[in-house]
Amino acid sequence: MNYSILSRSYDLRGIYGTDIDDDFFFRLGYAFARVTGNTRIALGYDARLSALALKTAFTRGANLAGATIVDLGLVSSDMLSFATCHYADIDAGVMITASHNPRDYNGMKSLNHKGEPYNVKKYGPDMVKIMESMNGDNGELIAEKIEHRDVENDWVEHILDFVGRDVDFSAYTIVADGGNGAAWAFMTRLAERAGFRIVPLFLEPDGNFPNHHPNPMHEKNREDARQALLRESADIAFVFDGDADRVMILDDTGEVLTSGIISSVIATWLSEKYPRAGYIGNATVSHIYQDTVESLGGYYEREMVWHVYIREHMMRDSGIVYAGEHSAHYFFRDNYYMDSGIMAGMVFLAAAARSGQRISDIKKQYEKYVTLEETNFEVADPKSAIQKLEELYKSEKYDMFDGITVTYDDGSWWNFRPSSNEPLLRLNMEARTQERFDSLYAEIMEHIRTFGQGSED
């Protein structure tokens, strides 16, 4: 195995059997416990077919290093994060997941009891040294160093405490599409405790993902939820990714809400409790979010894409109460700085319940821009393409904060970011009118064609 995969700046992910295997995770469990010094590690996993084997291997390695594993079972990533920070007897947490990646992938993300993520790029080199020095798999499960804990009820009660016990959800019907991932771990219990009617869709965990790919960012993966919503005359739909920490929301007409609109509603809700608070967005989230924050008297700061950067930024500034990414990750300071799709969904629904408005009517209030959320384009050389775009638009107002962002005086803007591991450029853009949007999009597409466009995703 190529242990250099641990030197990437993002969470550990790879193809099971090619990039990672059971022996890799045995060594990883040992090295993680040694390098971090943690003696009690919460361990969770999602529905992927390789999850149980990797969990067992990691546990054997951690046990060999002297650490106790607190096995949470099949949980969502936000449940693992909650448990790690909430329970005083937990030193760190490890989630075995590859999020929305195809079924052959798996991986790991981790954090300490304070909610600080273990940056793979920072800790990876030391772990690699230990993993390479090991003489094979000679670890065994140590019964007295394995505990089991069910966190579902505590997690659900935490969500309800956060949104407020006075909110009446009983009038709502919610379609919950789990994509055969980890949303099963909390969604039914939450419906029972909160009192809303649930229309369950693919909540049964199945690592084959037989119904649709567990990436709700793609429209085709939301179609089943849209049809169920219209068929059941539901009020809203939540569509989760594989480890259920991200959610896409559909309104009562089946239309998707952009992350910018969701973050705007959440910021408005939070501003009542935290006036003049701080909020974070990345370079690619809709500008309606920043507009809303500033109209509420708060302050808005940008950050790079990735949960590690977001959490570290929030922890540096105690005035920041929330962060929203274009990719449907929503972070709350009062949730141990963690992102949670279901918490964002329930806060949004609480705001709707308080207003008495239909979800589609709330959506209309924030539709100030024509928005294209992240769309991928295959190009021959993404980094070279970014450099060429910088040269082409050097006379415009632009920055290179995260990819290239070009902003115009009329409020229009676009951003291209290169993928970190695929030959892709990721485009996000907005304009105040459809005519301006169409003109800008046509201009950009002309450039994309010169970069060797393959296909649009």
For the stretch 20-36, pLDDT in tens is 999 999 999 999 999 99
Contact between 363 and 251 (Cβ < 8 Å) = yes
Residue 271 has pLDDT above 80, yes or no: yes
Alpha carbon distance 91, 38 (integer Å)? 6
When pLDDT is averaged across residues 323-334 and rounded to a whole number, the result is 94
On the question of pLDDT at 454 being above 50, the answer is: no
Among 71-80, 87-96, 119-128, which stretch is predicted with the lowest mean pLDDT? 119-128
pLDDT of residue 380: 84
Q: In whole angstroms, what separates CA 402 from the centre of its chain?
A: 18
The verdict on whether 263 is a catalytic residue reads no
State the pLDDT at residue 142.
87
Residue 119 pLDDT grade (very low, low, confident, very high; cuts 50, 70, 90) = confident
- Statement: residue 90 has pLDDT above 90: yes
Given the structure tokens 């290093």, which residue do they identify? 65
Q: Which domains does the chain have, with CATH numbers?
A: 3-150 (3.40.120.10), 152-367 (3.40.120.10), 370-450 (3.30.310.50)
Run of H or E including 363: helix 359-365
Q: Looking at the predicted structure, is the pLDDT value of residue 453 above 70? A: no
Distance CA(30)–CA(38), nearest Å, equals 11
Q: Which residue has the tokens 């008297």?
A: 297
Tell me what pLDDT residue 370 has. 95
Contacts of 314 (CB under 8 A, 6+ apart): 280, 320, 323, 331, 333, 337
The CA distance from 310 to 181, in Å, is 25
**CB–CB of 197/320 below 8 Å?**
no
State the Cα angle at 345 between 340 and 348, rounded to 5°.
125
The greatest distance separating any two alpha carbons of the chain, rounded to the nearest whole angstrom, comes to: 67
Q: Provide the 10 A C-beta neighbour count for residue 295.
A: 12
From CA 158, how far away is CA 156, in angstroms rounded?
Answer: 5
% of the chain exceeding 90 in pLDDT: 82
d(CA 283, CA 414): 9
More confident residue, 382 or 358: 358
Task: Using the predicted structure, report yes or no on whether residue 8 has a pLDDT greater than 70.
Answer: no
pTM above 0.85, yes or no: yes
**pLDDT of 108 over the 70 cut:** yes
Q: Are strands 413-418 and 92-96 parallel, antiparallel or unpaired?
A: unpaired
Give me the pLDDT at residue 198, please: 98
Amino acid letter, residue 345: G
Binned at pLDDT 50, 70 and 90, residue 455 comes out as: very low
What CA–CA distance (Å, rounded) separates 329 from 350?
A: 18
What pLDDT was estimated at residue 100? 87
Can you tell me the mean pLDDT for 243-268?
Answer: 97
Span 186-213, mean pLDDT?
97
Strand segments (E) across 88-209 = 92-96, 105-112, 146-148, 173-177, 197-201
Average pLDDT along the chain? 93
Task: Report d(CA 275, CA 156) in Å as an integer.
Answer: 27
Strands (E), 146-284: 146-148, 173-177, 197-201, 236-240, 247-250, 278-282
Rg of the Cα atoms in the chain: 22
Given the residues 50, 99, 263, 286, the one annotated as active site: 99
Mean pLDDT throughout 374-397? Answer: 91
pLDDT of residue 421: 65
Q: Which of 415, 425, 427 is nearest to 381 (CA)?
A: 425
Helix (H, G, I), strand (E, B) or coil at 64: helix
pLDDT of amino acid 9? 58
pLDDT-above-70 percentage for the chain: 97
Tokens of 422: 């695929």
Any idea which residue has 């294209």 for tokens? 372
Cα separation, 136 vs 147, in Å, equals: 26
* Predicted confidence band of residue 141 (pLDDT cuts 50, 70, 90): confident
Report pLDDT digits (tens) over 334-373.
Answer: 999 999 999 999 999 999 999 999 999 999 999 999 999 8
Which residues have C-beta within 8 Å of that of residue 116, sequence separation ≥ 6?
311, 312, 315
Candidates 322, 448, 315; CA nearest to 386 is: 448
Could you tell me if 246 and 341 are in contact, meaning their C-beta atoms sit under 8 angstroms apart? yes
